[in-house]
Structure 1
Amino acid sequence: MKKYPKYKSSGISWLGDIPEHWEVRRNKYIFQERNEKSVKGTEELLTVSQYTGITKRKDKVLGENKLLTNASSLEGYKTVHKNDLVINIMLAWNGSLGISPYHGITSPAYSVFSIRNKNENFSNFFHYTFRTKIYHSIFKTVSTGVIDSRLRLYPDDFFKLTTLLPPLQEQIQIARFLDWKVGQINKFIKTKKHILELLKEQKQVIINDVVTGKIDVRTGKPYPKYKASAVEWLGDIPEEWEVLPIKRLSKAVKTGSTPPGADDKYYSSEGINWFTPGDFSDETELRNSKRQLSALGVSAVNIFPPKTVYMNGIGSIGKVGICLDSASCNQQINAIITNEKISPYYLLYCIKSAKQFIISFGKFTTLPIINQEETKSLIFPVPSKDGQKVIVSYIQEKTEATDRAISRIEREIELIKEYKERLIADVVTGILAIRGVEVPEVIEDIEEELPEDEPEEIENKEGVE
């Protein structure tokens, strides 16, 4: 792909030069607010994701115990027509918006806009344009509020913004080109994620076999004698092992907290780690949190000692990691400070092995939840300290190569996602021209897959739902 033959100044500092034949126009001349309300609340409930745009809420809610919403009634929810723009006004700055492919209803806390002139404007072009980082930063700049968690992009502020506008046929061409390329990239990511899942399953089998006592790591065979554990998910365990709840294996089990008001003064680029669910991965150790606490932040929360075991207690419950340094966490995480009876690493592997049981053990509303007291009641098999040490060493040795493969594939996925973001931004802002690029008649529609904790983000941030 090449650049356009000629460019001109857009007259807007953050846009810079644009193709000579493109226009810039205020959003109030492109969109109008739609304020239709549902009478019965029986239409399809739609939700907004920074990853996939507008989707059906029911497609994101898994499990018969989960609710579509906390609202007692959907009467009065905003009506959305196909090709309307829907914006989560609280999260426009991180890309929680998109063009809806469905007719339905959405939260009254969101903004819904229809396109004024469909002879000049193609909806899917704006879907890509408004989901680029350059627009996210502009949405953040014009939003009302002091800190990220309280920012609001109100319709009047959205209408004042300027948007790039190629001719209609070029908008259509750009949108089709990006549908094609994004579909290819998403297919690549989906394939890589499938390989990741196979590697993780392979690793999980190794962990399960040794922490439940099916295999004696010293011999590679079953233990000589077994006894009933009286724990359904465990079955029989080696005769010399104990079965103990976490409350007997820990000095304390606590939840974390968030500094009051979430003000920036509580955070620092070189402070103490403050973990949230987004900091967890498949790795054993938690190292660098996305946000760290300043001295003021440290004084406002609980600080936990080195080798505390952190377990996610809301949403993707059972995600677990150890931090080798003093650290803190938010209220979605249970911090387990182990006692002399158990190795923190052995407990971590027990939690990984029992993840499905832990999920079923928790409470369900719209999300699975397991609190401190329920965490204390979780029961695990406990060999001697020497036995634990041997098991931990065995797991680490056997899974080392798998961990390297997982890290390599995760990096490949990260790089291709960065490429996708750059490609979209360069095409919708006119940096790259797609004239002459042949797009297939039939485009494979492959949506980006959600990260594991995406349902949690939706439920926590949709406001009124």
Structure 2
Amino acid sequence: MTIDRGMVRRDSLEREISANASDEANLRARAGDIVYNMMRMWQGAYGRAPEDCMVSPAYVVLSARSGYSPRFFAHLLREPRPLYWLWAFSHGLTNDRLRLYYRDFTRVPLHAPSLEEQEKIADMLDAMDARVELLLKRAETLSQYRDGVIQQLFSGELRFAPPKGGAYADWIDARLGEVASFAKGRGVSREDIAPEGLTPCIRYGELYTTYGEVIGQVASRTHLDPAGLMLSIAGDVIVPASGEDPLEIASAACVLQDGVALGGDLNIIRSSLDGVFLAYLLRNAKRLEIARLAQGYSVVHLYPHHLKRLKIRFPAQIEEQRHIAAFLQALDRKVAAVRAQAAATRTFKAGLAQRLFV
């Protein structure tokens, strides 16, 4: 039983789960039954059995009586008010020890319309869940396609042709220090962030939480005097200078705007290469190599002299670099759009369900 996916086969999980009970002690669930985890029911740890199966005796199996739709109640129990009641009727000194026994579950006040209306509501909400699942699968498929294309593009296996025909020149092998100069960010702590600040700014932690390979719109601003800051030049590529994990620190993003304050703990790379192309190259094809360059234990560091040694391979002509960068940006926008559709459908469903279950 999972909170985010409902009921799943035990062998589908990426962790090993040992069975503490003998096989004959397990409970039988019929397809469509609602099964819940007594210790996590107040968090929504329940689901409908997708098939006839056996479940742990630590769970409770609920079968709908005549006149009631388990599909309807599977949606109803995720609403804020029913979840509150599930918490209120659970027993335990702290939240991590709460248990909802069946005898207490039977006391939870729930209301339902006629069976016909229950089924209509369940049909509508099931359809919206299916739509969300379809969109998420599409986004995952696009992401996998993106990863495969990136591998082919940066290995030179897949090449673009010039718009007027012919072929681009061969790619060049070099070390990053031979084609780029380096600088460090300056200042801009968390306390310096001000929504009404006049200067847009980027802190190193935002590379992990806010931005992808391209930074078009800057999320934060600061009130600090720009004269004391390190300001971006459009096309700069920034890489964290420190972090907790080597793979986490192996991140890169291209800043598309001039005049953005780049905070401390940021390496700034300026080169004749297209910045967006370089950011995709570093963050994807060179990620593992950059991670190996980082040094440290509890906190790892990445300095310019590390990055200068990095071997890179890139198209000799800036036009091919821009062609690759534009193609990958278009793919990322498509993935983001599909995920946004899934999020919007979830939000619409939540608002609709709230009105239906009043």
Identify which of 93, 96, 107 aligns with 2:45: 96
Residue identity opposite 2:108 in structure 1: T
Matches within 5 A, 1:96-115: 96-101=45-50, 102-106=52-56, 112-115=59-62
Cα separation, partners in 2 of 1:398 and 1:68, compared to 1, 3 Å: closer
Residue identity opposite 1:212 in structure 2: S
Residues 64, 70 of structure 2: 8 Å contact kept: no
1:382 aligned partner: 312
1:349 aligned partner: 280
Cα separation, partners in 2 of 1:105 and 1:319, compared to 1, 3 Å: farther
2:338 aligned partner: 409
2:6 aligned partner: 53
Note the residue ranges of structure 2 that are not aligned, 5 or more in a row: 177-181, 184-192, 196-201, 221-236, 256-260, 289-298
Cα separation, partners in 2 of 1:323 and 1:96, compared to 1, 3 Å: farther
Residue identity opposite 1:49 in structure 2: I
Task: Supply the RMSD in Å over aligned alpha carbons.
Answer: 6.0
The CA distance in 1 between the partners of 2:344 and 2:75, in whole Å, is 19
Cα separation, partners in 2 of 1:280 and 1:133, compared to 1, 3 Å: farther
C-alpha deviation, 1:352, in angstroms: 6.2
Matches within 5 A, 1:68-147: 68-69=15-16, 71=17, 73-76=18-21, 79-82=26-29, 83-87=33-37, 89=39, 92-93=42-43, 95-101=44-50, 102-106=52-56, 112-115=59-62, 118=65, 122-136=69-83
C-alpha deviation, 1:414, in angstroms: 2.0
C-alpha deviation, 1:382, in angstroms: 0.1
Does residue 307 (structure 1) correspond to residue 307 (structure 2)? The answer is: no
Residues 286, 322 of structure 1: 8 Å contact kept: no
Residue identity opposite 2:343 in structure 1: E
2:131 aligned partner: 188
C-alpha deviation, 1:241, in angstroms: 1.0
1:420 aligned partner: 349
Identify which of 206, 225, 241 aligns with 2:173: 241
Higher relative contact order (CA 8 A, sep 6+): 1
| Greater fraction helix | 2
The CA distance in 2 between the partners of 1:100 and 1:317, in whole Å, is 38
TM-score, normalised by the number of residues in structure 1: 0.43
The CA distance in 1 between the partners of 2:80 and 2:119, in whole Å, is 20
| Stretch deviating more after TM superposition (415-424 or 397-406) | 397-406
The CA distance in 2 between the partners of 1:103 and 1:164, in whole Å, is 27
C-alpha deviation, 1:380, in angstroms: 7.8
C-alpha deviation, 1:181, in angstroms: 2.0
Residues 89, 154 of structure 1: 8 Å contact kept: yes
C-alpha deviation, 1:86, in angstroms: 1.2
C-alpha deviation, 1:200, in angstroms: 4.9
Residue identity opposite 1:100 in structure 2: A
Residues matched between the structures, number: 293
1:23 aligned partner: none
Cα separation, partners in 2 of 1:120 and 1:210, compared to 1, 3 Å: closer
The CA distance in 2 between the partners of 1:68 and 1:423, in whole Å, is 36
Matches within 5 A, 1:194-273: 196=139, 200=143, 207-214=150-157, 215=159, 221=167, 223-224=169-170, 238=171, 240-242=172-174
TM-score, normalised by the number of residues in structure 2: 0.53
The CA distance in 2 between the partners of 1:151 and 1:327, in whole Å, is 40
C-alpha deviation, 1:154, in angstroms: 1.6
Cα separation, partners in 2 of 1:98 and 1:418, compared to 1, 3 Å: same
Residues 318, 352 of structure 1: 8 Å contact kept: no
Note the residue ranges of structure 1 that are not aligned, 5 or more in a row: 1-46, 62-66, 225-237, 245-249, 252-267, 293-305, 329-334, 359-370, 432-465
Identify which of 160, 166, 175 aligns with 2:112: 166
SS of 1:54's partner is coil
The CA distance in 2 between the partners of 1:353 and 1:194, in whole Å, is 22
